[in-house]
């Protein structure tokens, strides 16, 4: 396993539920990311946080709400999701602010099913 953990690993929720995904990194990185991975599609970047500040939001619907209380923790709050939101949600962390070319390290993902 990498130094990035995610909970829960699996989640089934109805369209009216509210749930949260949690990510924690133990690598001392200062950037964290949420990605969505759907079958046969490239990873889609959702949100980027640098030093706890959100620096990117790739036109993600407001039913997804990120929260980054510190450089080690990242949450994705979910509410009134749609069945097409069912996917693997991956958290990643990396360094930033350096010369560039910093790679990202991924957690195991949360497999989400929206009924």
Of 80 and 86, the one with the shorter C-beta distance to another protein is 86
At closest approach, how far in Å is the CB of 109 from another protein? Answer: 5
At closest approach, how far in Å is the CB of 90 from another protein? Answer: 5
Cβ atoms within 10 Å, residue 109: 19
Of 86 and 108, the one with the shorter C-beta distance to another protein is 108
> Residue 83 — φ and ψ, nearest 5°?
-55, -30
Q: Are 70 and 90 in contact (CB under 8 A)?
A: no
At closest approach, how far in Å is the CB of 81 from another protein? Answer: 21
Which residues of the chain form contacts with another protein (CB under 8 A)?
2, 4, 6, 31, 33, 40-43, 45, 48, 50, 55-56, 90, 92, 94, 96-98, 100-109, 111
Of 17 and 50, the one with the shorter C-beta distance to another protein is 50
C-alpha–C-alpha distance, residues 2 and 106, integer Å: 7
Q: Are 37 and 109 in contact (CB under 8 A)?
A: yes
At closest approach, how far in Å is the CB of 83 from another protein? Answer: 21
C-alpha–C-alpha distance, residues 66 and 111, integer Å: 17
C-alpha–C-alpha distance, residues 8 and 115, integer Å: 17
Of 67 and 102, the one with the shorter C-beta distance to another protein is 102
């Amino acid at each position: 396993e990498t130094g990035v953990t995610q909970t829960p690993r699996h989640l089934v929720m109805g369209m009216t539920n509210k749930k949260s995904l949690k990510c924690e990194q133990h690598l001392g990185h200062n950037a964290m990311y949420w990605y969505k991975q759907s079958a046969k599609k490239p990873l889609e970047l959702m949100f980027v946080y640098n030093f706890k500040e959100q620096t990117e939001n790739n036109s993600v619907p407001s039913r997804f709400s990120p929260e980054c209380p510190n450089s080690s923790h990242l949450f994705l709050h979910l509410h009134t999701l749609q069945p097409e939101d069912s996917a693997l949600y991956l958290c990643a962390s990396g360094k930033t602010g350096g010369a560039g070319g910093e790679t990202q390290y991924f957690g195991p993902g949360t497999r989400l099913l929206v009924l």
